[in-house]
Amino acid sequence: MNPSGTEQIFSQYSTCLYRPGSLMRSLPWPIKAAYSGDEIVELLWSTILKLERLLGKFGQDSQILEDSVLIGCSEQQEAWFALDLGLNSSSSINASLQKAEMETALQGSFIKLTKALFELNVKDASLLSTAQALLRWHDTHQFCSRSGQPTKKNVSGSKRVCPSNNIIYYPQVAPVVITLVSDGTRCLLVRQSSFPKGMYSALAGFCDIGESLEETVRREIAEEVGLEVDRLHYSASQHWPFPNSTLMIACHATVKPGQTELQVNLKELEAAAWFSRDEVATVLRRNNLSNQQQSGAVPFWLPPKLAIAHQLIKEWVEKPTCSPLPA
Ligand SMILES: NC(=O)C1=CN([C@@H]2O[C@H](COP(=O)(O)OP(=O)(O)OC[C@H]3O[C@@H](n4cnc5c(N)ncnc54)[C@H](OP(=O)(O)O)[C@@H]3O)[C@@H](O)[C@H]2O)C=CC1
Ligand SMILES: [Mg+2]
């Protein structure tokens, strides 16, 4: 704990968020965040000068600041940048930045990006999500796929250009639909083997080339649980940085009450089941309690508040009578 009684935490991906200029504060991250007693987490920003000093202390050339990407700006129009310090990559030129020593220097500790993301407020989580997706895209698009030559990042990081043929590469986003299926009184929750233990969520799937969102919803639901969609309507969307940059498009869908028998595709899902509104409402309420997983009292749990799946499920519990449009 630091003198103000606040424990500082960082994500394991060791990105720094900062903004240039005399008034800037910078944020070592994925993240340096403050974790207070009442479980509110906020990002801490420090200046680029502090960041340069820190890099110097760890034997790094401040030249790596040029790898920074623009992720947004404040209401006062101060630019915010993110930088990957390369703490996790053994092949990285920055690998000599030692995590433990960095934690000591920053008076904090690194935590997983997924954990940090769910503990931040919506605005900060969005910055973090943008930083992760953009930095990862740059890391994996270092070469031109036509000429094989190294590509060059522009100053803001909004694109990369091949100097030999001027081909421009822009960051990519894959569209994914996430759908909460209901039969009118119950909703369908599923789990993949990769989910954290005990967690159930809505059904998700990548859009195939040539498909509309409506077609993806119908195909994914048919493929994964063998149901035919009767009606669907759009709810909301969210950028999601894992495993790569995706745009999650959230929908509600209904199936006809008489056609609810599940044929679970066990290659894609570990389990799928119908749950009553009361059951889901109870789990949603307990989801917000601390240590609910350890209590053993909850049969399953739902994605955290910030996940769009959570919003979809909450919406269904709170607005049971919404009337979807024909698909
Ligand atoms: N924010 C949230 O609340 C939630 C987010 N999600 C996210 O939704 C995404 C999609 O869900 P998921 O059920 O896995 O999707 P799918 O049901 O489409 O299954 C994943 C499979 O789709 C294939 N695929 C097609 N296009 C792509 C692509 N662009 N990138 C990667 N794989 C592709 C791959 O198959 P193959 O291996 O055969 O090539 C992959 O294994 C996941 O990334 C997950 O992180 C999921 C649930 C909740
Ligand atoms: Mg899926």
225 pocket-lining for ligand 1 (C-beta < 6 Å): no
Mean pLDDT across the stretch 82-107? 62
For residue 53, the CA-to-ligand 2 centroid distance in Å is 45
pLDDT tier, 190 (very low <50, low <70, confident <90, very high otherwise): very high
- The residues placing their C-beta within 5 Å of ligand 2, an ion, are 204-205
133 pocket-lining for ligand 1 (C-beta < 6 Å): no
Q: What atom of ligand 1 comes closest to residue 206's alpha carbon?
A: 18
The pLDDT tens digits for 116-157 are 777 777 888 888 888 889 988 998 999 999 999 999 999 899
- The domains found in the chain, sorted by start residue, are 7-137 (no CATH), 142-171 (no CATH), 174-326 (3.90.79.10)
Cβ–Cβ under 8 Å, residues 29 and 17: yes
pLDDT tier, 75 (very low <50, low <70, confident <90, very high otherwise): confident
Question: Which of the pair, 34 or 325, is modelled with greater confidence?
Answer: 325
Q: Could you report the predicted ipTM of this complex, rounded to two decimals?
A: 0.94
270 pocket-lining for ligand 1 (C-beta < 6 Å): no
Confidence at residue 93, expressed as pLDDT on a 0 to 100 scale: 47
SS (H, E, C) 37-83: CCCCEEECCCEHHHHHHHHHHCCCCHHHHHHCEEEEECCCCCEEEEE
Compute CA 298 distance to the chain's CA centroid, rounded to the nearest angstrom.
25
Confidence at residue 14, expressed as pLDDT on a 0 to 100 scale: 40
